[in-house]
Every structure is written in C-alpha cells, then in structure tokens.
C-alpha cells in the first residue's frame, strides 16, 4: 500500500478527526506507521485505553483491498491533503479533511466558488432569489457549492446545472449513501454534468445528525464566500455561516419579508455583521471577483445573443425600470436580471440602482 492509501485507511476510522490524525502522523512519522502502531504506543501518546483498543479491533477487521475495490467499482476517487489536486481553498484550514472522497471531477477553477445555502422549507420568494443569484454567478464562471439538501440547496444545484455551470455538493455521509433519497437523481445529474459530490466520510457511513456541522465547515471552506437565502431562527444554516466566519470567509445574506419566519436567519446575520446582498454585484465587488477582461475579450467569451439584442433595443439612453423592461419584452424577471448583469460586465448597459438601467 502507498502512503496515500494508508492515510485513507487511517481516516476511515471516523473517531480520529483531522487534528488527531495530524498528531498521529507527526508523532509516528507517516500514515503507514500511525496505522500500524501498537496499542501501547497509541496509549503512550494520550489515547484512552478504550479508544486504542477499539481502533486495533477496527484495524484488524477492516478489509483494505475490499474497500479500495469498492471505491473503484463505484467510480469514487479520493484526494489526500498532500495531493496536488486537493482543493486549494481547503488546504490552509486547521480542520481540513485529510481525505476527500469525490464522485465527479474537481477543477482548478472551482477555487472561484460561492456557497449558497438556506432552509429546506423554501418559499416562492426564496426559490426566485436562489435561481436569480445562482444563474448570474454561474454565467460568470463561478462554481456553486451547497449541501444537496431539500429546498434552497437543491434549488441552487439545479439552477446552476440548468445554466450550464459547475456545482459541488458536499454530503454528510459516505458517497455510497445519497441523502436525502429524493435528490438521488439530482446527485446523478451533478456527477454526469459539470461538478462533483464530495464527502470526508468513508463508504457506508450514515448521515448522522452530528455530521452536518462538520459537513458545513467544508461547504464554507471550499468557497470564497457564503450566501444565505432564507432560514428559520434556529436554522442549521446559521452553522454554515458560523463556520464561514471562523474561516475568515465573508458571509452575505439576502433580506426577506420581516413577517416571514424564513427571513429570521438572514435578518439575524445582517444585524450581526453579515453583508446584505441584493444583487450579485454585492458579492463580486466584495471578493474582487469582477472579471478583468477588456470589452473585446468579454464579448468573445460571451457573444451577444438574441436576448441581448432585444434588451438593447428596449433600453435607451434614458433610464428605464426593470418592470418596464419585463412588460415590453415578456421575458422572465430572473432571466432578464441575469442577462442584464452580463451586459453590464460587457459594458453595454449600466445599473443606476433601484432596478433602473440605461444604455452606455
């Protein structure tokens, strides 16, 4: 076995977290020697007798060859923290997973990622806002990260795929257990399309309640920023925002109706220092993610479409409101918003704020 494979074997014992595994490797000199350490040696460095005994039992029963054969059969790859392809955004985190299981593909461009998270009890407003932000970000080549949960998460993944963008779903279980089951088809679509499923958990590990907080730190860690769209006052979404803050990632929240229970989490975050996001520009400007392309290059990358021509004919040198553009064009609000954002980056139109645009 290679050192990489020994690290996979060592981390498959889930009671050893990232910090413990790092200590073991530092002490014994390698994952191989840590994995093969005698019980008395493990106890001598601070492991409780019960834990050391349990690890030895686990190691004796763990069929290494069968495990790696199963990974291959399921088309699941793995990256260790020492591999070149390991996500750059995670490398420097204290709690970075020693091993990541991946189904699909990770690309260097995924370092330009934004996490979109929120409630499972998504409202119509939440759906509309999620689709708007996701489509606009995906159109700009930004990878969307989320957790494959029902509601906002699933909506973000779907909208990104519909736009031809890249999306990454982080699971709280082994990749052979897709949860929730209702999103199995979506998971398959992500793998077969543009993106990946990721987990730090070994095959067969169930989605225990305690796993989700750990999963959330990977969602935020993979991303340059976290955008929260809807969530109740005691929402798990706040855990992702908390992880982001601890990791030094900016947190954005979309304000909602003050009478809606699903606005509680975003409004709480805004009141406590999160940045309010009402358009994709808020995120781009904060992260300095604005594309540094000249106009000619931008037009080559995103050539003018029939929709842009139609909007250009509607928008004149005099300011015109988004509602008027929708009325005249008959197009969907979210589609127009996404296209106007791209046109603004191309230098074709300018937003004057408040939904008002003019031709440049």
- 196 versus 259: the higher-pLDDT residue is 196
Model pLDDT, residue 289: 57
pLDDT (tens digit per residue) in 11-46: 999 999 999 999 999 999 999 999 999 999 999 999
E strand intervals along the chain: 77-80, 99-104, 113-118, 143-146, 167-170, 195-199, 225-229, 251-253, 275-276, 320-321, 349-353, 356-359
Task: Give every CB contact of residue 146 below 8 A, 6+ residues apart in sequence.
Answer: 115, 116, 117, 152, 153, 154, 156, 157, 167, 168, 169, 170, 219
pLDDT (tens digit per residue) in 304-355: 677 777 888 888 777 888 888 888 888 878 778 878 877 777 677 877 777 7
The 10 Å CB-count burial string (b at 16+, else e) for 42-51 is beeeebeeeb
Confidence of residue 360 (pLDDT cuts 50, 70, 90): confident
Task: Give every CB contact of residue 13 below 8 A, 6+ residues apart in sequence.
Answer: 55, 58, 59
Q: How many residues does the chain have?
A: 360
How many CB atoms are closer than 10 A to CB 293?
A: 14
DSSP type of residue 336: H
178-199: average pLDDT: 94
126-155: average pLDDT: 93
How many CB atoms are closer than 10 A to CB 297?
A: 11
Burial (Cβ within 10 Å: 0-12, 13-18, ≥19) of residue 142: buried
Paired with 31 in beta bridges are: none
CA distance 159 to 263: 21
CA distance 48 to 201: 23
Paired with 357 in beta bridges are: 320, 351
Model pLDDT, residue 217: 93
Confidence of residue 104 (pLDDT cuts 50, 70, 90): very high
- 258 versus 201: the higher-pLDDT residue is 201
Task: Give every CB contact of residue 104 below 8 A, 6+ residues apart in sequence.
Answer: 190, 191, 195, 196, 197
CA distance 203 to 301: 40
pLDDT (tens digit per residue) in 271-287: 999 999 988 888 887 77
CA 35 vs CA 24, 140, 346: distances in Å: 9, 44, 55
How many CB atoms are closer than 10 A to CB 271?
A: 9
Paired with 251 in beta bridges are: 226
| C-beta separation of 144 from 156 below 8 A | yes
Paired with 104 in beta bridges are: 196
Task: Give every CB contact of residue 289 below 8 A, 6+ residues apart in sequence.
Answer: 112, 140, 142, 224, 283
pLDDT (tens digit per residue) in 43-79: 999 999 999 999 999 999 999 999 999 999 999 999 9
CA distance 244 to 222: 10
Task: Record the tokens describing residue 317, joined without a space.
Answer: 């040198």
Least confident of 102-116, 121-135, 326-340: 326-340
| C-beta separation of 349 from 357 below 8 A | yes
């Amino acid at each position: 076995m290679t050192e990489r494979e020994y690290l996979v074997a060592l981390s498959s014992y889930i009671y050893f977290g990232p910090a413990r595994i790092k200590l073991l490797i530092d002490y014994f000199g390698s994952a191989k020697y840590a994995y093969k350490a005698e019980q008395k040696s493990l106890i001598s460095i601070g492991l409780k007798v019960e834990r050391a005994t349990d690890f030895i039992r686990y190691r004796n029963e763990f069929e290494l060859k069968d495990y790696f054969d199963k990974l291959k059969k399921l088309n699941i790859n793995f990256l260790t923290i020492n591999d070149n392809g390991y996500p750059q955004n995670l490398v420097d985190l204290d709690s970075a997973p020693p091993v990541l299981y991946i189904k699909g593909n990770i690309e260097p461009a995924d370092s330009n990622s934004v996490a979109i998270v929120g409630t499972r009890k998504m409202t119509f407003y939440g759906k509309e806002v999620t689709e708007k932000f996701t489509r606009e970000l995906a159109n700009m080549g930004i990878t969307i990260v989320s957790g494959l949960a029902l509601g906002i998460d699933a909506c973000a993944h779907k909208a990104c795929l519909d736009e031809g963008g890249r999306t990454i779903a982080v699971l709280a279980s082994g990749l052979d257990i897709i949860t929730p089951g209702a999103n199995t088809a979506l998971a398959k679509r992500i793998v077969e399309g543009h993106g990946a499923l990721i987990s730090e958990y070994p095959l067969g590990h169930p989605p225990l309640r305690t796993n989700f907080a750990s999963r959330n730190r990977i969602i935020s860690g993979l991303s340059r920023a976290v955008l929260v769209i809807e969530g109740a006052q005691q929402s798990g979404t706040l855990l992702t925002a908390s992880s982001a803050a601890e990791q030094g990632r900016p947190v954005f929240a979309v304000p909602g109706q003050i009478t809606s229970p699903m606005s509680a989490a975003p409004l709480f975050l805004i009141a406590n220092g999160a940045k309010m996001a009402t358009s994709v520009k808020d995120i781009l400007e904060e992260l300095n993610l604005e594309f540094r392309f000249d106009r000619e290059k931008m037009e080559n990358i995103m050539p003018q479409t029939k929709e842009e021509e139609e909007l250009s004919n509607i928008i004149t040198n005099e300011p015109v409101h988004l509602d008027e553009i929708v009325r005249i064009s008959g197009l969907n609000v979210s589609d127009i918003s996404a296209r106007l954002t791209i046109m603004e980056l191309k230098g074709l139109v300018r937003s004057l704020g408040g939904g008002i645009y003019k031709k440049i």
